Amino acid sequence: MQVDFANIPVDNVTLKESLDKLDELIASQGPHLVVTPNPEMIVAAQEDNLLKQIIKSAALRLPDGISLVVVSRILRRPLKERVAGIEFMLQAVRMASLKHYRIYLLGGKPGIAQKAAESLKNSFPSLLIVGVHDGYFEHDGTIINQIKAAQPDLLFAGLGAGRQEKWLAKYLKVLGVPVCVGVGGSMDVISGYKKRAPKIFRRLYIEWLYRLVTEPWRWKRQLALPKFLWLVFTKGLKG
């Protein structure tokens, strides 16, 4: 089942269900795209037809934002829970280590993907990381060849919201990776380069406040939240 936020579909899945689905997608070989729509992406997709089509045709769309859950409850199309991209990524990596899936990390500033890989290897020693590359490259072709040669089962790409979905959708077939996931800044957090908001902020639904204080230059991006609320309360939900 899915819930549409201003015509952008989001799947009503729990973290556990999303992992079961991921496993199915890997088994079916793909290529599949997993996206993590949050209020910002839903607002951006209103005026970006390509992004909208990509989200609509993705194999799995995780509800990445507590405001999606709160709004869905107020409008009586309740989502079961928030599935944050980073939590999905960490659990997917855990699954990958158990099932010997091969993973590739693409994105972040130079050195970040490598650091994230080291940190993941520490947590999951049997994890098969078959390649890493930063997200500031000039020639797509070189990266595509590297990824293809590494033959991952799962590609995590953190190239910036919107950009990573377009990049992955454009090259999904040529890459031939069973499942590609857009993960935004998750590798920044896993590598230790950035901190996630402490639990208390998350529990009080004010993760945005923590980010505003720690990364004040993002204030413009945060206007997406009131825009999102305006959109969904005027356009409503379907599901």
Note the residues at the interface with ligand UDP (CB under 6 A). 107-109, 135-136, 158-161, 184-185, 187-188
Q: Which residue is nearest to ligand UDP (CB)?
A: 135
Cβ atoms of 5 and 57 closer than 8 Å: no
Least separation, in Å, of the C-beta of 89 and ligand UDP?
11
Least separation, in Å, of the C-beta of 101 and ligand UDP?
23
User: 83 in helix, strand or coil?
Assistant: coil
Least separation, in Å, of the C-beta of 238 and ligand UDP?
26
- Taking the least distance from each CB to ligand UDP, the nearer of 135 and 152 is 135
Cβ atoms of 154 and 131 closer than 8 Å: no
Q: How far apart are the first and last CA of the chain?
A: 7
What is d(CA 75, CA 68) in angstroms, rounded to the nearest whole number? 10
User: 54 in helix, strand or coil?
Assistant: helix
Residues 6+ apart with CB under 8 A from 98: 126
- Taking the least distance from each CB to ligand UDP, the nearer of 59 and 187 is 187
- Taking the least distance from each CB to ligand UDP, the nearer of 26 and 55 is 55
Least separation, in Å, of the C-beta of 88 and ligand UDP?
12
User: 105 in helix, strand or coil?
Assistant: strand
Least separation, in Å, of the C-beta of 165 and ligand UDP?
10
- Taking the least distance from each CB to ligand UDP, the nearer of 26 and 117 is 117
Q: Where are the beta strands (DSSP E) in the chain?
A: 2-5, 8-11, 32-35, 60-61, 102-107, 128-133, 154-158, 179-182, 237-238
Q: Where do runs of H (alpha helix) occur along 151-206?
A: 163-175, 186-190, 199-203
- Taking the least distance from each CB to ligand UDP, the nearer of 198 and 236 is 198
- Taking the least distance from each CB to ligand UDP, the nearer of 97 and 186 is 186
Closest CA to 152 of 112, 108, 92: 92
Least separation, in Å, of the C-beta of 181 and ligand UDP?
13
